[in-house]
Amino acid sequence: MNKNSFTMIDENGNELVYDVLFTFESEETHKNYIVYTDNTKDSKGNVEVYASIYDPSDPHSRLEAIETDKEWKVIETILDTLQEEVRKQAGSNQNNEQ
């Protein structure tokens, strides 16, 4: 895995490339998370985003499933905050162009 993307093999042996959106360590859970996408879109046109637990000290770290609601809440809170920041910046950029 490099810092911007990584490849996984699915159950059919196909190589799938994912773009890393961000990584973080949660002070609340004391685990490291990776948030990533394959840039596909859902039925509403939103980009599909995934998250897993990983070990940043292991270059061959296996991604582990997130299993608790508490962990998902931590990730959703960060995603919501980032989305709000992007919206603010986009609005600011539009105002500067006018």
Q: What are 21-74's pLDDT values in tens digits?
A: 999 999 988 999 999 999 999 999 988 999 999 999 998 889 999 989 999 999
Residue 95 confidence class, pLDDT cut points 50, 70, 90:
low
Residue 94 confidence class, pLDDT cut points 50, 70, 90:
low
pLDDT at 60: 84
pTM of the model: 0.80
List beta partners, residue 12.
Answer: none
Q: Specify whether the CB–CB gap between 49 and 35 falls below 8 A.
A: yes
Tokens coding 90? 């986009």
pLDDT at 82: 87
Question: pLDDT at residue 2 above 60?
Answer: no
Question: pLDDT at residue 3 above 70?
Answer: no
